[in-house]
Amino acid sequence: MGLVGLPTLAASPMQDADEAPASWWTTLETTPLFPDAVGEDGLPVGWTVIGGPATYTFERDADGTTILHGVGGGPRNAFLVDPTITGDFLLELEVKLGRGDGNSGIQIRSTVDTPRNRMFGYQIEVDPSERAWSGGLYDEGRRGWIASLKDNLDAREAFVPGEWNRYTILAVGPRIRTWVNGVAAVDHIDFMDAEGRIGLQVHSGRCDVRWRNLRIATLGRRTVTPLLAPEVGPTDGLRIEPADGLQASDGEWRLDEDGVSIEATTPWPDGPSGLRIEATLQRGALRLILGEDGVGPGYIATIPAPLGGPEGPGVIRAWRWMDRLMIMVDDTPLVPGPRRIDGPLAVRIESEPGTVGAIRGIDMDPPTAAERAAIATRPEPTPE
């Protein structure tokens, strides 16, 4: 077993875990994305138009439903931008865009570049063309396509041009998931942006798009807890054995060559949460141990040298959600990866004797308060 590109990386399950519990986010209460008040410009109070030119106007259909109508024809993309910075969230909406009426998208966790009058960041695609990549993940103004629907035929067939299409967008930690009319489109991990603004795009050229029933459940902005930092060293959140097993050296903490054990004093919480380790290894290996040895479910990953180098440390990440557990080295997932493990987990990092290397930082990214509350009150799975 090994990591793609690093076949010597070893990982072993200490014991299989049960299947994942029911999705906790499906019962979240949502509220309207737009405020009730409208300004003199006809836009929701606080919302602004970036780029363009384009027009955004509110209309009502025969049933009295409020519809936002976006029309453009200029040389630049336009965005109706939320003033609020949003971290983790569930966003639900309906969008209508006919074939031949252009292209659109929903910006999430994005940034306004005021001097250049543009918006950049993650975009969930609205694509009524024959390509049919609606629900795909694009990076507006930066990297381009991150997760297209090239190999997802079911999702490509889900969007109906010229009809109302229901979008579900879930962003929790670095994981972004989308559904179009109930069909899964994207499930992607990306670490570039953990928060930002929401925006509704009117694409350059011809664009005539409508949105309705936009609702959001905000889950809070994530707060990373440092356990070891170059400036201050280990915090009370770590137990080091031997006590002098880490020695400060040029902004990092050198590992004692006789071997070191670094244990988190607080278990890794269940729910959407991450662990990040920055380290360099010239010789030997680190072991990341999740759970207690021989007691209940757990997982062990061995990360061999070399790791990092003159350009900077390597990065080991472990992330868990309610349906999966993932370990990555320099953003490359462990293959095959670990199974989902329920409950709080003990975390220990060990260097084997003879290892030459250093740790620059360790931090924990726990669930937000809103996520903890939603998970604690989720309905029990229905017996089969």
Question: What is this structure's pTM?
Answer: 0.90
* Beta partners for residue 210, in sequence order: 69, 96
Contact criterion met (CB below 8 Å) for 166 and 266: no
Assign domain 2-22+223-375 to its CATH architecture. Answer: Sandwich (2.60)
Which portions of the chain are predicted below pLDDT 50? 1-21, 382-384
Condensed to tens digits (0 to 9), the pLDDT of residues 119-166 reads 999 999 999 999 999 999 999 999 999 999 999 999 999 999 999 999
Measured CA to CA, the distance from residue 87 to residue 138 in angstroms comes to 18
Q: pLDDT for 88-104, tens place per residue?
A: 999 999 999 999 999 99
- Count other Cβ atoms within 10 Å, centred on residue 294: 8
pLDDT at position 22 is: 52
At 258, the amino acid letter reads: D
Hey, how many other C-beta atoms are within 10 angstroms of the C-beta on 136? 27
Longest dimension (CA), the chain: 76
Cα distances (angstroms) measured from residue 317 to each of 166, 189, 206, 273: 33, 12, 43, 11
Residue 55 corresponds to which tokens in the numbers above? 């027009």
Alpha helices (H) along the chain: 153-156, 369-376
- Tokens of residue 131, six digits: 């390509």
State the virtual CA torsion across 291, 294, 297, 299 in degrees, nearest 10.
Answer: 60
Q: Which of 199, 25, 234 is nearest to 113 (CA)?
A: 199
DSSP state of 236: T
What is the residue whose two structure tokens read 């040298």?
305
Question: What residues have CB less than 8 Å from 374, skipping those under 6 apart?
Answer: 24, 25, 27, 28, 219
Which part of the chain has CATH 2.60.120.560? 33-220
DSSP string, 260-314: EEEEESSPBPSSSEEEEEEEEEEESEEEEEEEETTEEEEEEEEEESPB-BTTB-E
The pLDDT score that the predictor gives to residue 20 is: 41
Specify the pLDDT at position 59: 92
**The tokens of 169 are what?**
């967008």
Return d(Cα 227, Cα 235) in angstroms, integer: 5
Q: Is 369 helix (H, G, I), strand (E, B) or coil?
A: helix
Which residues are CB-contacts of 36 (< 8 A; sequence separation ≥ 6)? none
Q: Which CATH topology does 33-220 take?
A: Jelly Rolls (2.60.120)
pLDDT at 7: 31
Residue type, 65: T
| CA Rg value for the chain | 23
Length of the chain as a residue count: 384
Numbered ranges of CATH 2.60.120.200 in the chain = 2-22+223-375
pLDDT at 10: 47
Question: First and final CA of the chain: distance in angstroms?
Answer: 34
Sign of CA dihedral 150, 25, 334, 5: positive
- CA-nearest of 124, 88, 80 to 103 is 124
